[in-house]
C-alpha cells in the first residue's frame, strides 16, 4: 500500500476498472488485507486515468501534488461496499487552485462511476475544504487543533489517518507528521480531544447479553460500525496521539498498544474478527455493511462477538480517561 510516483494507468477505461472490481470483490470477502490491496489498486488507477484526461484537457499540473486517502480507506479497512474519503494537497502556483479542484471533481466523479459512492459528508477532493494548497492546509490544521467542537476533533482524526496514494513531488504525511508529533500536540490539546469524544453505545448489557438494534430494517442486528469497530478505531487513534505514533492502520496501532500494555492482549485479534464479519459479498449498500444479523452466527461466534464488543468499548474508555487525566508517555 505504498504511494506511487508514476501516472500511467494499466487500464484503458473506467469500465475496465469497474469490471475487474465487480469480478474480484466476491472472491475477497474473507480476506480483508487482500481486499484492501485491491481497493488501493482500483482507486490509484482511477486517479491515473483522471489525471491523464486532465492533462489532455488542461495540460500538465501547475505544481507538485499528492492525492491522499482518509477514513477507512486510509487505514486499510474498507469493506465490500465503500464510499469515498480523500483529498488533494499541492504546492502554491498560479492557477493551481482551479486546476486541482477540477482534478478533484474529475477523480470523485470517476470513482463514483467505478463503484465508490460519493461521500455524503463531502469528504472528497471535489470539495475545496479537502483540496488545498500546502499553506492553506497548515492554517486549517491550526484551526482544528483548537478543538473547540466535536467537528474539529473529527477532522483532526481524519487527517491523522491520512495516507498518500499518488504522489507527484509531495506527500501529505510530510505535513501531518509535523502536526501530530509529540511536541506539537500538547497535553491540553489531548485533553480537549478526549473530552469531545462521545462514548460508543454498549454492545452487551450487564448480564453479558448482546444488545441488537431493537427496530427498523436492521432489527436483530449488531451495528458493527458504532458498537463494534469504532471503539477500536477511535481508541487506537487516541493511543496514537497519546504515544506519538505515526502508524495509520488500526491493526498496527492496536498491535503496538498490546506490546506496551500486556494486559490488553487480544485487541488486534478481535478487531480483525469484526472486520471479517463486515466484509461480505451479501452487502449491497454502505449502510447495510454496518450491520451484522445475529441469526447468521453460531453460538460460538456469538460468544466471540460478545467478547469483541465488551473489550473494544473498555479499551476506548481506558484511552479516553487516560487523555482526560492529561499527560503523555
Which one of 147, 179, 211 terminates a domain?
179
Same domain, 69 and 134: yes
Same domain, 302 and 225: yes
- Backbone phi, then psi, for 255, in 5-degree steps? -65, -40
Residue 250 falls within a domain, yes or no?
A: yes
- Closest by alpha carbon to 282, among 295, 270, 292? 292
Same domain, 167 and 233: no
CB 302 within 8 A of CB 222: no
pLDDT at residue 234, rounded to an integer: 95
What is the C-alpha to C-alpha distance for residues 200 and 132, in angstroms, rounded to an integer?
32
Same domain, 170 and 243: no
Give me the percent of the chain exceeding a pLDDT of 70. 92
Residue 3 falls within a domain, yes or no?
A: no
Residues recorded for the chain: 329
Domain residues for the domain of 92 are 14-179
Q: How many CB atoms lie within 10 A of CB 284?
A: 10
Residue 8 falls within a domain, yes or no?
A: no
pLDDT per residue as tens digits for the range 140-187: 998 988 888 888 888 988 998 999 999 999 999 999 888 776 545 677
Same domain, 163 and 276: no
**What total number of domains does the chain contain?**
2
pLDDT per residue as tens digits for the range 3-44: 544 556 789 999 999 999 999 988 887 777 888 999 999 999
Residue 204 falls within a domain, yes or no?
A: yes
pTM of the model: 0.89
Residue 319 falls within a domain, yes or no?
A: yes
CB 82 within 8 A of CB 72: yes
Same domain, 84 and 222: no
For residue 25, CA distances in Å to 14, 32, 65, 219, 240 come to 16, 11, 30, 27, 31
pLDDT per residue as tens digits for the range 53-96: 999 999 999 999 999 999 999 998 888 888 899 999 999 999 99
Same domain, 147 and 196: no
Residues 6+ apart with CB under 8 A from 85: 69, 70, 71, 72, 73, 74, 119, 123, 124, 158
What is the C-alpha to C-alpha distance for residues 292 and 280, in angstroms, rounded to an integer?
10
Amino acid at each position: 500500500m505504498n504511494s506511487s510516483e508514476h501516472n500511467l494507468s494499466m487500464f484503458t477505461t473506467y469500465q475496465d476498472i469497474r469490471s475487474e472490481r465487480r469480478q474480484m470483490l466476491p472472491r475477497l470477502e474473507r480476506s480483508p488485507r487482500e481486499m484492501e490491496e485491491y481497493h488501493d489498486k482500483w482507486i490509484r488507477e482511477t486517479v491515473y486515468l483522471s489525471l491523464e484526461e486532465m492533462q489532455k484537457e488542461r495540460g500538465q499540473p501547475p505544481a507538485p501534488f499528492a492525492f491522499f486517502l482518509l477514513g477507512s480507506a486510509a487505514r486499510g479497512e474498507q469493506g465490500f461496499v465503500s464510499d469515498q474519503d480523500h483529498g488533494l494537497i499541492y504546492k502554491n502556483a498560479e492557477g493551481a487552485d482551479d486546476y486541482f479542484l477540477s482534478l478533484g471533481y474529475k477523480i470523485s466523479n470517476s470513482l463514483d462511476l467505478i463503484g465508490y459512492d460519493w461521500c455524503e459528508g463531502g469528504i472528497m477532493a471535489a470539495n475545496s475544504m479537502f483540496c488545498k494548497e500546502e499553506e492553506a492546509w497548515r492554517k486549517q490544521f491550526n484551526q482544528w487543533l483548537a478543538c473547540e467542537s466535536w467537528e474539529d476533533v473529527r477532522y483532526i482524526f481524519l487527517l491523522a489517518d491520512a495516507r498518500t496514494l499518488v504522489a507527484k513531488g509531495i506527500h501529505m504525511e510530510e505535513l501531518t507528521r509535523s502536526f501530530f508529533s509529540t511536541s506539537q500536540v500538547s497535553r491540553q490539546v489531548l485533553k480537549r480531544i478526549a473530552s469531545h469524544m462521545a462514548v460508543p453505545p454498549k454492545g452487551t448489557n450487564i448480564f453479558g447479553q448482546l444488545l441488537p438494534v431493537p427496530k427498523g430494517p436492521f432489527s436483530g442486528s449488531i451495528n458493527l460500525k458504532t458498537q463494534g469497530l469504532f471503539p477500536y478505531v477511535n481508541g487506537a487513534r487516541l493511543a496514537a496521539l497519546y504515544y506519538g505514533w505515526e502508524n495509520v492502520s488500526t491493526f498496527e496501532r492496536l498491535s503496538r498498544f498490546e506490546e506496551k500494555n500486556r494486559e490488553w492482549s487480544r485487541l488486534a485479534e478481535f478487531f480483525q474478527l469484526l472486520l471479517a464479519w463486515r466484509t461480505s459479498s451479501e452487502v449491497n449498500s454502505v449502510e447495510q455493511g454496518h450491520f451484522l444479523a445475529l441469526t447468521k452466527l453460531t453460538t460460538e461466534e456469538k460468544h466471540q462477538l460478545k467478547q469483541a464488543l465488551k473489550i473494544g468499548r473498555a479499551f476506548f474508555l481506558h484511552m479516553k480517561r487516560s487523555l482526560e487525566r492529561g499527560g503523555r508517555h
